[in-house]
Amino acid sequence: MATAQLNAAKRDNAGKGAARTLRGQGQVPAIIYGHKRQPQSLAINSRDLDKLLSTISAESTVIELNLDGTMARTLIREIQRHPFKRQILHVDFQELVAGEKVVVSIPVVLMGVPEGVRLGGGILDQTMRELEIKCDPADIPNHIEADVTGLQIGSSLHARDLKIPEGVEVMDDLDNTVCIVAAPRAAIEAAAVVEGAETSAEPEVIGKVKEEGEDDAEGGDKKGEKK
């Protein structure tokens, strides 16, 4: 379980005007809520918050908030950012309680080089980079490792193939693909060229072949008709 520390100050004023004033003072408005706790408005130094977020995985790191001398173990549940600037507008913290399970997303880290890449020139494509799990806060893993060394070209790894620590429940669909080893790009392009050549060939037109003399006989009948 990854942990980090952050200082925060309780505040009584709330609303858009108070939040705007805080941001002008280099502070980020925030809130903490959780089991048997009344939501409490907070103020956090924006530089300290930026520095912290640049070094952690925000969704799965337990933040030990120092609230005016008292410590609360929390998870960041939402970060609101300005749509154009990098400025953080607001942060939501959920207080953690021992024995009360939480749902978090943790990184999936691929380990090793697949045989299909090393020997066959394949391409490793990771389609799932985070796994949603449910567990006690004390059991939150830093990440989940996936061994891909045995994958051949065309082989894939799914969520059900991951080694999940005891006490951790996977919330994602177990059939979701974590990664796949695709064929080399040159082989894919060559196959596409062959397929295109086959589909572009003109099909043979099979029609009724008129018997020899059929046109002449038909023409003769017309000539023999009375006007």
Q: Is 142 helix (H, G, I), strand (E, B) or coil?
A: coil
pTM: 0.70
Q: Is 74 helix (H, G, I), strand (E, B) or coil?
A: strand
Q: What is the CATH number of domain 3-97?
A: 2.40.240.10
Q: How far apart are CA 1 and CA 141, in angstroms?
A: 5
Torsion sign (Cα): 44, 49, 52, 53? positive
Element (H, E) at 9: strand 3-10
- CATH fourth-level superfamily of 103-187: Ribosomal protein L25, C-terminal domain (2.170.120.20)
Return the biggest CA–CA distance within the chain: 120
pLDDT value at position 171?
96
- Pairing label, strands 88-95, 70-81: antiparallel
Q: Is 107 helix (H, G, I), strand (E, B) or coil?
A: strand
Mean pLDDT by 10 residues, the chain (227 residues): 90 81 90 86 93 89 91 93 87 90 93 93 94 92 94 95 94 96 70 54 51 48 46
pLDDT in tens, 119-149: 999 999 999 999 999 999 888 998 999 999 9
Residue extents of the structural domains in the chain: 3-97, 103-187
- Residues 6 or more apart whose CB falls under 8 angstroms from that of 158 comprise 174, 175, 176, 177, 178
Locate 86 and state its tokens: 């990098």
- Pairing label, strands 3-10, 169-170: unpaired
